[in-house]
Structure 1
Amino acid sequence: MDSFLSLFDPNNCNDSADDFAIGNLNNQKALPPEPQVGNIEYKLKIVNPTNQRFEHLVTQLKWRLREGNGEAIYEIGVEDSGILAGLSQWDMTASLQTLQQMALKLGATTTILRERTLDNGRSVAEVLVRKIPDDQNNIEVRVAVLGNADAGKSTLLGVLTQGSLDNGRGRARLNMFRHLHEIQSGRTSSISHEILGFNSQGQPINYSYSELITAEEICDSSTKLVTFLDLAGHKKYIRTTIQGLSGYSPHHAMLVISSTAGVVGMAHEHLAIAIALNVPFFIVITKIDLVSPTNTLQSLESFLKQVGSRRVPLVIKSLDDVITAGANQLTENVVPIFCVSSVSGEGLELLLKFLHVLPPGISAKEKERLEQESPEFQIDENFKAGDVGQIIGGLLTKGVITEGMQMQIGPQKDGSFQNVMVKSIHRNRVPCRMVRAGQSAALCLNSYIRGLRNGMVLLKADSSARGCLFFQASVSVLFHATAIYQGYQTTVHIGNIRQTAVVVGIFPSNCIHTNERASVLFKFKVHPEYVTVGQRLLFREGAAKGIGEITQVFPLPYKPESE
């Protein structure tokens, strides 16, 4: 839904023929009718409600918060039909006070995002109501950071999470690197996690918030936590980048482009992958202190249309643009574009405001449904920590895992699973007792695992799961120079799985071309994996790319230990 204040603010209008805007909305005097579902609520006014009416309003707010996974947007001075009626100053003040009382009743906070005066002299306001769900420490949003090598991704993250500007020679990015060769080359080769918090008033909480602040204190002080996945930009690390997008299931992707280089290199590839995986994205143009972003902005318009994404770019120039972009990020085809400098700090405040209002990418109903399923933890990292034991890191895609839970891990080479117990859990480097669906964590197991590798899964102990070598998928080829036939080998990405697979059969014909769809039977080349029907699949080899969905799995037969 378009945020209503942009409808009548003339400063938000862009008359460029390139349509760098959501649309010519400033002449409209109404919003679409109030949505029946979702986290947005219209209220003409809420002045001196009776006790019964007040309780009803609180119940309504509770439902909207649940729909928004802890966040709700209230449009005050707007009728249910969407007409912008506006309120007198007295009625607006009283309505905002009532909304604040409603929020206090639920333990929530209110933040006025914007307030404007209409032509009739009356005012309208947009208010963010936020309440951390009872089963969470904060509202978490995962953002994957993409872009060409040397675009300034790690430097930008260093500035956002450390709270100090760069010196123009890469000082801010040093804290982002995990390996010596990354420091020496200045290029990210692995997936690193960084956090940025926001308090109830929208102020950023990073490592400059107070002296010697720790990651645990950032988490404890934040009502909203943005977890950045810093992905590699160089071509030779493309498989690691795809693994980050596929395995960690980010809610949003941030594509970073350098104004000095423009839209070149892996930027096209990264955007195509984000679109193929249905990840909402926004764009940040860096280094505007060196080169004006005008040419890059012009290239981006044709760039977005060439990909076939049918996205409309929106250059963020004001706070109104920020709120409009945040409201459209999940439901519309708008691509917000920020122009920033990590050296001068220009544009960073608007980017921080956007991250503050960025919605979680999963609805409360979907989250609740996933939590009720049997737990499935995808393993992306594994290591041994001295006397502590076996540590695994990854994403819990389904269910709930608690300390002391009996689990099973696999598949092994024969497709079997090994029984283990979860000794302890850490999230964002902080110990906790529970991890829920959609959250990433590090788990300590009670024993070392033979043949442990990334791509395995952790399941409930009483599950009768088996690994498989053969699986069938409905596949669409995005690009291939010739045709794909039986015997074709490619790297497939399924969640956290990355392995070479061989095309065993193609149905109903014996080949498949670009822009064609077919049912394809694959065989993992090296070892069995645990996959399920409905999982998304992405394959890539050179310039060839394809996407699909798994339709059938053929588990390996069970072999008793006596054999």
Structure 2
Amino acid sequence: MVLNYKENMEKLQLTMDSFFSLFDPSSCNDCNNEEFAIDNMNNQNSLPPEPQLGNVEYKLKIVNPTKQRFEHLVTQLKWRLREGNGEAIYEIGVEDSGILAGLSKRDMTASLQTLQQMAVKLGATTTILRERVLDNGRSIAEVLVRKVPDDQNNIEIRVAVLGNADAGKSTLLGVLTQGSLDNGRGRARLNMFRHLHEIQSGRTSSISHEILGFNSQGQAINYSYSELITAEEICDTSTKLVTFLDLAGHKKYIRTTIQGLSGYSPHHAMLVISSTAGAIGMAHEHLAIAVALNVPFFIVITKIDLVQPTSTLESLESFLKQVGNDVITAGANQLTENVVPIFCVSSVSGEGLELLSRFLHVLPPGISAKEKERLEQESPEFHIDENFKAGDLGQILGGLLTKGVITEGSKMQIGPMKNGSFQNVNVKSIHRNRVPCRMVRAGQSAAICLDTIVLGLRNGMVLLSHEENAKVHIGNIRQTAVVIGICSSKCIHTNERDSVLFKFKLHPEYVTVGQRLLFREGASKGIGEITQVFPLTLTP
């Protein structure tokens, strides 16, 4: 199915109005074909049944609840916020079955007031995303409830920006993050470039990070929000922060682009296609990589002030089918493998930018609160993407923390070096989004300053918790060893038994099956018997 330009813009507007309602992660198994998606978009008398899991809640009405009922509703909201990592969507005037019954004006006002009181109870805010009057004269409302987790300054998502060279990626990011339209000659993109050759060629060759914030009411917080606003102030003012990873588009920088997609684990990918050129060049390869890495994506068609995107839209259906997608319309709540939102924008005239901004405001994080909590409880593992020395500051590491929590002053180990060893280091300071902070959590990117210069440092190394090492005693052997893995669990508690795989940190030792082993790390210690030995593989 291919829509003409006018029909597409009408459908996209309709889709944004019901962005959260048409699909939900728990109902994706029911959305495995194009007909289902299109039928639900056009059938505005019902939505999919209320999901059991996820952050979407249907309420027919919540008028004058009893004290006991109110406390139950607050508990329910707290759970939905947890499922959405700080964001929940409430559909007011909708039955659990998905039927849009609607409410009278009086009941709608009372229901919205009750929802606001529930949010205040939890320290959350409410924002009405849309209100709609049904054919029966009654209305429905869609409300975003947001509560920044207590251990975070804001809710953050990472969006990788992909697309062919000259598609307008950096220009679009410049307009979104700087708040000023382009002059048609690339002025907006100059703030995105990091190197002189990028300014001279107009092409991105490295990975740059740009931020766009939103306050609790959905207003964009960028560098035009107030005079001389800083990145730190954007982070402090925003309840939601979108971090864009501007990736290179030219084919000779494909390794850098893959590195950004795989190393920084973005929650979503934004594929930028120029209306003047269409889906050509590296766009196919970039999208194939995103799909291979299971990164949900959406599409932005730029330069519609120069050429109407009719032909580009017509070619997108076959383009998306080539990478395993069969729908070119937009969906709701969470991007799925069946639903691809498409936006048509101009960085010069500003057309379509407000719609894109609204989309980014409600774009959900790609990790559940339960999974996030699990990762934070594991030992820290920081993957190094960049490293450099900054004068008297010392060694700077840039990358992504995939597990655990790192704080200022943490004792860590970095490696492996060429000989397989790890070097002990201390975390001197931490910066996120160019702003100093005391802590970085699992799923967050950061720049970490060490207290010492590390010789032989290279990208691809990891920064691990110092606690991953244990001192092993086997007969007259005494050496530090790294715990590689525990067979049946993540950890061993007092009086528990399990199989543990150790690896000597410095050099090989001669050990045999049956020897007794004692290991200790701080106040922790354990005893056991060697059950298996892995011989050293010598290289010629």
Aligned equivalent of 2:51: 35
- Paired residues of 2:74 and 2:118 also in contact (CA < 8 A): yes
> Which of the numbers 297, 304, 324 marks the counterpart of 1:288?
304
Can you list the C-alpha shifts for 1:306-360, whole angstroms capped at 9, x where unaligned? 22x124112xxxxxxxxx634241x451111111111111111101010001000
> Which of the numbers 330, 333, 340 marks the counterpart of 1:327?
333
User: Can you give the 5+ residue segments of structure 2 that lack an aligned partner in the other structure?
Assistant: 1-14, 23-33, 471-482, 487-500, 511-540
- Paired residues of 1:22 and 1:313 also in contact (CA < 8 A): no
One-letter identity of the residue aligned with 2:170: S
Matched, 1:121 2:127: no
SS of equivalent residue, structure 1 residue 237? helix
Q: 1:356 to 1:326 in 2, by over 3 A?
A: farther
One-letter identity of the residue aligned with 2:287: L
SS of equivalent residue, structure 2 residue 392? coil
- Paired residues of 1:7 and 1:27 also in contact (CA < 8 A): no
Measure the CA separation in 1 of the matches of 2:117 and 2:191. Answer: 43
Measure the CA separation in 1 of the matches of 2:251 and 2:37. Answer: 33
Q: CA deviation at 1:531?
A: 10
Measure the CA separation in 2 of the matches of 1:6 and 1:252. Answer: 16
Aligned equivalent of 2:341: 336
Can you list the C-alpha shifts for 1:206-231, whole angstroms capped at 9, x where unaligned? 00000100000000000000000000
Deviating more after overlay: 175-184 vs 110-119 = 110-119
Aligned equivalent of 2:230: 214
Aligned equivalent of 2:351: 346
> Which of the numbers 142, 161, 180 marks the counterpart of 1:164?
180
Matched, 1:67 2:63: no
Matched, 1:431 2:436: yes
> Which of the numbers 114, 125, 131 marks the counterpart of 1:109?
125
Aligned equivalent of 1:391: 396
Q: CA deviation at 1:372?
A: 0.7
- Paired residues of 2:400 and 2:446 also in contact (CA < 8 A): yes
Q: CA deviation at 1:559?
A: 3.8
- Paired residues of 1:408 and 1:417 also in contact (CA < 8 A): yes
Measure the CA separation in 2 of the matches of 1:37 and 1:226. Answer: 25
Aligned equivalent of 1:80: 96
Q: How does 1:159-198 map to 2 (within 5 A)?
A: 159-198=175-214
Aligned equivalent of 1:379: 384
- Paired residues of 1:154 and 1:230 also in contact (CA < 8 A): yes
SS of equivalent residue, structure 2 residue 39? coil
> TM-score normalized by structure 1?
0.78
- Paired residues of 1:143 and 1:226 also in contact (CA < 8 A): yes
> Which of the numbers 42, 50, 56 marks the counterpart of 2:72?
56
Matched, 1:275 2:291: yes
One-letter identity of the residue aligned with 1:75: E
Q: CA deviation at 1:4?
A: 9.1
Can you list the C-alpha shifts for 1:106-139, whole angstroms capped at 9, x where unaligned? 1111111111112221111110000101111000
- Paired residues of 1:30 and 1:82 also in contact (CA < 8 A): yes
One-letter identity of the residue aligned with 1:361: G
> TM-score normalized by structure 2?
0.81
Q: Percent identity?
A: 82
Choose between structure 1 and 2: higher strand proportion.
1
- Give the RMSD, CA atoms, in angstroms: 2.5
- Paired residues of 2:16 and 2:359 also in contact (CA < 8 A): no
User: Can you give the 5+ residue segments of structure 1 that lack an aligned partner in the other structure?
Assistant: 10-18, 315-323, 466-529, 534-553
Q: CA deviation at 1:405?
A: 0.9
Q: CA deviation at 1:3?
A: 8.8
SS of equivalent residue, structure 1 residue 387? helix
- The 4+ residue runs of structure 1 with deviation greater than 3 A are 2-9, 19-22, 530-533, 554-563
Aligned equivalent of 1:356: 361
One-letter identity of the residue aligned with 2:251: K
Aligned equivalent of 2:217: 201
Q: 1:135 to 1:75 in 2, by over 3 A?
A: same
SS of equivalent residue, structure 1 residue 84? coil
